[in-house]
Amino acid sequence: MIELYPAGKRYTVKNDWLESNLGFSFGEYYDSSNIQFGPLRVFNDDTVQAGKGFGIHPHREAEIVSIVLKGQLKHEDNLGNAGIISRGNIQRISAGTGVLHSEFNASNQEEVQFLQLWFLPNEKKLIPSYEDISYDIEQLHNHLLPVISRTGSDRVAKIHQDLTLYLSKLEDKKTLNFRQEAGRKIYVFNIEGEISINKDSILKSRDAARITDTHEITIHGNQDSFFLLIDLPGGEF
């Protein structure tokens, strides 16, 4: 089954420095029918104005992934980690028993756009940790490139959950096939362009799809597109 979630139906939080489009219940937005999808608990599509950001705040028991789409995002935490990530970088924080961190737009001139995803970990009371990796943007072309996985590698961030997150830039009229083990779930978020899944399910820019009971899909580029796909475990969380 493929359930579509159009971009225009997301809950939006907006003030003078932040626009946050929420894929799941978060903060002031609560919908008992939209809490999570498997271990995927948060999917925020954020735009932060120049020089602004989120001051020091705590997290616990979450695997936090940030993917910058435009601009630069500055991170600092109480573990001594500090850095700036931009397009082509992936940041993963394992909050575990507790971490304090801040996130700010590193530029005083242009906005930063990024996706932030929170996953429930597969183990409680982990020691907090931080990782950022860079991926080769050229390898995204007409290919599902893993950038986060349970095992990790030099250019794949390691996450404490049985999932793999892929990025892809699919050209117009090109097709990709994806197959997973039966009983798992698939989450697709189309960042730019337009794609179709199994011919009939069309995702425009910022649309999402939650896929269950369908372990093999075909993704077609209706135009040049940039999207992410997450192979998630089934079951209850």
Q: Answer for the pair 223, 191: CB distance below 8 angstroms, yes or no.
A: no
Q: What is the CA radius of gyration of the chain?
A: 17
Summarised one tens digit per residue, pLDDT across range 216-237 is 999 999 999 999 999 999 998 9
User: Dihedral of the CA atoms 221, 226, 232, 237 (nearest 10)?
Assistant: -120
Residue 181's pLDDT is: 95
Q: Could you list the pLDDT tens digit for every one of the 237 residues in the chain?
A: 999 999 999 999 999 999 999 999 999 999 999 999 999 999 999 999 999 999 999 999 999 999 999 999 999 999 999 999 999 999 999 999 999 999 999 999 999 999 999 999 999 999 999 999 999 999 999 999 999 999 998 899 999 999 999 999 999 999 999 999 999 999 999 999 999 999 999 999 999 999 999 999 999 999 999 999 999 999 989
- Report the side by side order of strands in the sheet with 89-94: 11-14, 18-22, 40-48, 112-119, 63-70, 89-94, 129-134
Residue 103 labelled as part of a binding site: yes
Residue 36's pLDDT is: 98
Residue 63 labelled as part of a binding site: no
Residue 61 labelled as part of a binding site: no
Domains in the chain, please, with CATH? 10-135 (2.60.120.10)
Residue 170's pLDDT is: 99
Please give the C-alpha separations between residue 189 and each of 8, 134, 219, in angstroms, as whole numbers: 14, 20, 12
The answer to pTM > 0.95 is yes
Residue 220 labelled as part of a binding site: no
Residue 201's pLDDT is: 98
Residue 154's pLDDT is: 86
Q: Answer for the pair 26, 42: CB distance below 8 angstroms, yes or no.
A: yes
Give Cβ neighbours of residue 18 (< 8 Å, ≥ 6 apart).
46, 47, 48, 49, 52
Q: Answer for the pair 119, 161: CB distance below 8 angstroms, yes or no.
A: yes
Burial of 157 (0-12, 13-18, 19+ CB in 10 A): buried
